[in-house]
Amino acid sequence: MAPAAGGTVAKRRAGDTVASAKGRKSAGRKARRRAPRRRGRQPGRSLARYLAGMLALPLLLAAVLGALVLDHMVRERFSGAKWALPTHVYSRPLELYAGLPMTRADLLGELDELGYRRVERVPRPGQFVLAGGLVRIHAREFRFPEGEQQARQARVRFGSAGISALEDAGGRALPLLRLEPVRVGGIYPEHAEDRILLRLEETPPYLADAVIAVEDRDFHRHHGLSPRAILRALWANIRAGGISQGGSTITQQLVKNFYLDRSQTLARKAMEAVMAVLLELHYSKAEILEAYLNEIHLGQAGNRAIHGFGMASEFYFRQPLAELDLHQVALLVGMGKGASHYNPRRHPERARERRNLVLSTLAREGIIDAEQAEHAAQRPLDVTESPGAVNRYPDYLDLVRRHLQRDYAARDLTAEGLGVFTHMDPRVQQRAETALEETLAQIERDRKISPGTLQGAAVVVRVGTGEVLALAGGRRPEFAGFNRALDARRGVGSTAKAAVYLAALEESRRYTLGTLIEDAPVAITSGGKRWAPENFDHLSHGPVPLYHALSHSYNQATARLGLEVGVDRVAKVLRRLGYQGPMDEVPALLLGAVSMSPLEVAGIYHTIAADGFYTPLRAIASVGDAQRQLLTRYDFEVEQRFRPGDIYLLQYGLRAVMREGTGAGARLPGGPAVAGKTGTTNDQRDSWFAGFSGNYLTVVWLGRDDNKPTPLTGSSGALRVWTRIMAGLQHRGLAAAPPEAVVYAWYDPVTGEGSGPRCEGAIQLPFAVGSAPEPRDCGGAGGRALDRVRGWLGLD
């Protein structure tokens, strides 16, 4: 559009000088004609002539100058980028394929988000048909920054485990169907005008005709001003006894909205008239109409103004403009008279009357026939219950904005109409928000805590890709505010213990999961301060296997282990896991004396969940310009930071947390193998849980904004939210088969030594190759008890 407009401007400039010259000439003639009339009426001819001469010249000059200034204004604003366009932010596109564990209800939810309409017969793009267990979808075309995707039809069949088959319209198996992404929000300029630019040729049938019929019947005949319309309005106003109708043309209305303020002075009206004529002089009717369709104000969402029919269509119908039917087009056209007065969500009856009036006008003007008008008038308003294209996920958008600010100037983000394609999964996002909000309210009721005092945050990441699928920064997700998921840096407590055990397990000659470590009082002086951690139950538990100390989160055993391994090594492991923030290398670090945001904790645990491969967490896949040409791609990056075997052993310990330790209360449907770690800080100010399955990692923090104590531990607080989020997702269990560097061996948890399949109390435990204990043969059942006693007494 821009080059065409530029070309027009260049062409018209030559004529412009001629027109201005003509203007000057005619102004001069008028001045001369008027002078004699005045002369005839008044005595003192020579004086009058002299005065007239004195006045005429400056007036003439002022008029010419004024016209030139207005002409410049008209052309300058109209020829370039007419509007500062907001950045639009999209979710991930949903990929459908046979085997996807997705329910029919979830698919219908996604189609609803995308504004797909359910129909009974063969669907058009943006529609679907339900036939028994089958969903027939006609996916829309969509321009991704990586390339155009054509509209296509597909049939989706569901089985008990999700999508059982995906076929094309002819019934042939289709490997994949990608739906277009959901527009989940935007980044707006200061004046908060939101619009989706449309071209005249993209508008649905009837729109342009309807706008002309309703707003300016003489549009194609006048030159900016319509004397007939003014007379018509005058007559209507006289009959009504006040101002009931304006005589403004579409061109005048565009000038008024585009260039001038809202004041109703005579001078402003005069300027409007002159500029309307100038605009018509320079630009074609099509260009003026297109600008009008994009400029018109059609609604308000908080402080965000909905401009143009493109955005209004998304806002009221959650559909692209091109898909609208006659009755929807008529509704939007009718709203041009007053978007607030005819708001179909607030005043449906008023909006319906107005819409039907537009329909009868169209019939009267011969644009549609009476039958069409009648049929359309019978249809419901079809407006969606909740507005489309609103910032429903401000916390996630906050993350997107911060990532974008690394590469884009603030002005580009609010003016260039960029398209940002994120990894956000609206279904997961909604689950995370609901789980956080409802579980916090439930905990407050259960624990008799004053309502609203507990806060929380949650982050969900796809394991292996590091894509942030959901991020909730507090309760009441619809309001942007303090984003705890990014900005609440709180003590992480025992969630940091994973680093201590990983540091130990990396020294496979010294430590295995079966190494007995002493859970006994420990006290050291560091930096002049005495440090003597206690267990949560104020007890000591004696020698315990390493995996058990981790799964039960024993502080004393962990402190002893960490001091043996070295605080500096544990700190290095935290860095390698991905933590980049401030950290004091003091013994208390071993028990989590380091403050992190939930997103940072998610980054660390992602490295553990992804088998030791570090990946920076990502919110954005790519950014496209206003034409959706690729500007930036944010590729997957990966770096192996740990040996897979060491991570497997740590994951085993974290699985024991869920099986028999502090996370054992969590139950997920289907019982997938999951791993995780609780965290509780001093006086229970913070309640953490970080845990993952084979495909999802979720981190939850709960606490109070004023940092006062709560009655919650990691298990009784954050784990409840975690369970609720994870229970709504379809999981793949953690890999059961160990990497090559790991073997399973029989082990006796009491002696901490090797055992055999027939020995009492023996369990199988994974070990790094070369570190497994010697096996024992306990013989028959009779020998077992004796063997055990001999073992305890050290008689072997």
Partner 1 sequence: MVLRHRCRTRGAMVLAGALALAACAPLVPGPGAPVDERPGERPAPPPPAEPEAPVEAPSPPASPVSPPVAADAVSALVGDARRAAAAGRHEAAVALAERAQRLDPRAPEPYLVLARAHQALGRTAQARQLALRGLASSPPGSQLRADLEALLGTLGP
Applying the rule CB under 8 A, the residues between 411 and 450 that interact with partner 1 are 443, 446
Query: Can residue 252 be called a binding residue for partner 1 (CB under 8 A)?
Result: no
Give the closest residue to 677 by CA, choosing from 491, 498, 462: 498
CB 372 within 8 A of CB 405: no
Query: Can residue 762 be called a binding residue for partner 1 (CB under 8 A)?
Result: yes
Give the closest residue to 252 by CA, choosing from 206, 291, 194: 291
Q: Looking at 5-13, 168-176, 312-320, 389-397, which segment touches partner 1 (CB under 8 A)?
A: 168-176
Choosing from 744, 779, 786, 796, the residue that interacts with partner 1 (CB under 8 A) is 744
The catalytic position among 110, 113, 180, 215 is 215
Query: Can residue 678 be called a binding residue for partner 1 (CB under 8 A)?
Result: yes
- How far is residue 195's CA from residue 298's CA, in Å, rounded to a whole number? 10
Q: Looking at 99-107, 121-129, 182-190, 223-231, which segment touches partner 1 (CB under 8 A)?
A: 99-107
Minimum CB distance to partner 1, residue 478 (Å): 27
Residue 716 among the catalytic residues: no
Query: Can residue 665 be called a binding residue for partner 1 (CB under 8 A)?
Result: yes
Choosing from 82, 140, 282, 462, the residue that interacts with partner 1 (CB under 8 A) is 462
Q: Looking at 241-249, 524-532, 595-603, 649-657, which segment touches partner 1 (CB under 8 A)?
A: 649-657
Choosing from 553, 597, 698, 710, the residue that interacts with partner 1 (CB under 8 A) is 553
Query: Can residue 97 be called a binding residue for partner 1 (CB under 8 A)?
Result: yes
Tell me the residue length of the chain. 796
For residues 217, 220, 225, 229, the Cα torsion angle rounded to the nearest 10 degrees is -20
Q: Which residue, 189 or 543, has its beta carbon nearer to partner 1? A: 543
User: Residue 548 to residues 151, 317, 359, 591, 789: CA-CA distances in angstroms?
Assistant: 55, 56, 75, 16, 22
Q: Which residue, 85 or 549, has its beta carbon nearer to partner 1? A: 549
Give the closest residue to 495 by CA, choosing from 662, 292, 695: 662
Residue 141 among the catalytic residues: no
Q: Looking at 302-310, 502-510, 701-709, 758-766, which segment touches partner 1 (CB under 8 A)?
A: 758-766
Minimum CB distance to partner 1, residue 725 (Å): 13
According to DSSP, residue 173 is labeled: B
Instruction: Return all residues near 503 (Cβ < 8 A) that are at least 6 apart.
Output: 562, 565, 566, 569, 570, 572, 573
Q: Which two tokens stand for residue 175?
A: 């490997």
Measured CA angle at 415 (ends 414, 417), to 5 deg? 95
Size of the site for partner 1 (CB under 8 A): 98
b/e burial code for range 280-302 (CB count within 10 A of at least 16 → b): bbbbeeebbbbbbbbbbbbbebe
Beta-carbon count within 10 A of 684 CB: 20
Q: Which residue, 383 or 759, has its beta carbon nearer to partner 1? A: 759
- x/- string (CB under 8 A) for partner 1, residues 138-167? --------xx--------------------
Q: Which residue, 67 or 156, has its beta carbon nearer to partner 1? A: 156
- How far is residue 306's CA from residue 295's CA, in Å, rounded to a whole number? 9
* Interactions with partner 1, residue window 767-796 (CB under 8 A): 789, 792-794
Q: Which two tokens stand for residue 217?
A: 């019947």
Q: Which residue, 246 or 464, has its beta carbon nearer to partner 1? A: 464
Q: Which residue, 79 or 651, has its beta carbon nearer to partner 1? A: 651
Choosing from 616, 672, 728, 775, the residue that interacts with partner 1 (CB under 8 A) is 672
The catalytic position among 79, 91, 226, 494 is 494
The strand pairing partners of 467, in sequence order, are: 462, 618
Choosing from 216, 433, 611, 646, the residue that interacts with partner 1 (CB under 8 A) is 611
Q: Which residue, 286 or 520, has its beta carbon nearer to partner 1? A: 520
Minimum CB distance to partner 1, residue 160 (Å): 14
Choosing from 112, 168, 660, 796, the residue that interacts with partner 1 (CB under 8 A) is 660
Minimum CB distance to partner 1, residue 640 (Å): 5
User: Residue 406 to residues 105, 579, 671, 682: CA-CA distances in angstroms?
Assistant: 38, 19, 41, 36
Choosing from 414, 430, 662, 771, the residue that interacts with partner 1 (CB under 8 A) is 662
* Interactions with partner 1, residue window 686-705 (CB under 8 A): 694-695
Choosing from 399, 413, 463, 589, the residue that interacts with partner 1 (CB under 8 A) is 463
Q: Looking at 97-105, 250-258, 305-313, 362-370, which segment touches partner 1 (CB under 8 A)?
A: 97-105
Minimum CB distance to partner 1, residue 401 (Å): 23
- How far is residue 617's CA from residue 98's CA, in Å, rounded to a whole number? 28
User: Residue 125 to residues 120, 122, 385, 772: CA-CA distances in angstroms?
Assistant: 14, 10, 22, 61
Beta-carbon count within 10 A of 383 CB: 18
Residue 105: helix, strand or coil by DSSP?
helix
Q: Helix, strand, coil proportions of the chain in percent (round to 5)?
A: 45, 20, 40
Query: Can residue 467 be called a binding residue for partner 1 (CB under 8 A)?
Result: yes
Strands 147-149 and 127-131: unpaired
Query: Can residue 760 be called a binding residue for partner 1 (CB under 8 A)?
Result: yes
Instruction: Return all residues near 744 (Cβ < 8 A) that are at least 6 apart.
Output: 738, 764, 765, 766, 767
* Interactions with partner 1, residue window 360-419 (CB under 8 A): none
* Interactions with partner 1, residue window 707-736 (CB under 8 A): 712-716, 719-720, 723, 732-736
Query: Can residue 740 be called a binding residue for partner 1 (CB under 8 A)?
Result: yes
Q: Which two tokens stand for residue 426?
A: 């609206």
* Interactions with partner 1, residue window 559-588 (CB under 8 A): none
Q: Which two tokens stand for residue 409?
A: 């100037």
* Interactions with partner 1, residue window 175-234 (CB under 8 A): 175-176
Choosing from 568, 575, 764, 796, the residue that interacts with partner 1 (CB under 8 A) is 764
Over the Cα atoms of the chain, what is R_g? 36
Choosing from 542, 566, 581, 709, the residue that interacts with partner 1 (CB under 8 A) is 542
CB 199 within 8 A of CB 294: no
What φ, ψ does residue 447 adopt, rounded to 5°? Answer: -100, 5
Element of type H or E holding 603: helix 598-609
Q: Which residue, 414 or 695, has its beta carbon nearer to partner 1? A: 695
Choosing from 74, 182, 544, 602, the residue that interacts with partner 1 (CB under 8 A) is 544
Q: Which residue, 149 or 384, has its beta carbon nearer to partner 1? A: 149
Q: Looking at 183-191, 193-201, 372-380, 634-642, which segment touches partner 1 (CB under 8 A)?
A: 634-642
Instruction: Return all residues near 481 (Cβ < 8 A) that are at least 6 apart.
Output: 473, 474
Choosing from 55, 65, 240, 539, the residue that interacts with partner 1 (CB under 8 A) is 539
Instruction: Return all residues near 115 (Cβ < 8 A) that are at least 6 apart.
Output: 126, 314, 317, 318, 319, 320, 384, 388
Q: Which residue, 456 or 739, has its beta carbon nearer to partner 1? A: 739
Minimum CB distance to partner 1, residue 526 (Å): 23
* Interactions with partner 1, residue window 474-533 (CB under 8 A): 494, 520
Choosing from 123, 334, 426, 661, the residue that interacts with partner 1 (CB under 8 A) is 661
According to DSSP, residue 713 is labeled: -
CB 475 within 8 A of CB 436: yes
* Interactions with partner 1, residue window 276-295 (CB under 8 A): none
Minimum CB distance to partner 1, residue 731 (Å): 8
Choosing from 139, 184, 311, 765, the residue that interacts with partner 1 (CB under 8 A) is 765
Strands 134-139 and 152-159: antiparallel
Beta-carbon count within 10 A of 16 CB: 18
CB 229 within 8 A of CB 218: yes
CB 89 within 8 A of CB 184: yes
Minimum CB distance to partner 1, residue 409 (Å): 24
Query: Can residue 101 be called a binding residue for partner 1 (CB under 8 A)?
Result: yes
- How far is residue 334's CA from residue 345's CA, in Å, rounded to a whole number? 14
Q: Which residues are catalytic?
A: 215, 494
